[in-house]
Amino acid sequence: MPRWVDPQSHVVPVVRLGASLVAGLLLAGIGGLVLGEYTFQGVGIQWLAISGGAGLGAAMAWVLNRVWSHDPPLWMMPAAAVLSVAGESLAVQRDMDGYAWPPEGWAAVVLAASVSAYGIYLAHRAAAEERAKKS
């Protein structure tokens, strides 16, 4: 598939950075609103609500990997983690409505950050291996 912009151009990283931030903020906002519907209230550990953090982190990594054409730079790891934390924090705050966060809420936030950063790392590593095979 031909590219519409030269990959060696200095404009591409700037455009992709902007697209990453816009797409990440949109996903964080929408994900936070949707995940805020899964309650952390009830008896026992709320596994569904915790897994929402992993899902949001995975979705964030997937979206950012697509923006960077499956070759995100390593500095996108903290950006992905922060965007995922923002979305999951919105979800927990929306669900708890001003009450103290339960341990599951904190676990979901940590999981969102970890999964998104790890997804970026894996995509970067896979791209580096692919480049090494070609050379």
Closest C-alpha among 67, 76, 72, 110 to residue 92: 110
Distance CA 47, CA 123 (A): 27
pLDDT tens string 33-68: 998 877 777 777 788 888 999 999 999 999 999 988
- Return the DSSP state at 64: H
Domain boundaries, the chain: 13-134
Answer yes or no: are the C-beta atoms of 125 and 109 closer than 8 Å: no
Distance CA 84, CA 64 (A): 11
Q: In this structure, what token pair is assigned to residue 79?
A: 């950006």
pLDDT at 2 over 50: no
Q: Which residue has the higher pLDDT, 14 or 82?
A: 82
pLDDT at res. 102: 87
pLDDT at 32 over 80: yes
pLDDT at res. 133: 93
pLDDT at 131 over 80: yes
pLDDT at 1 over 50: no
pLDDT at 4 over 60: no
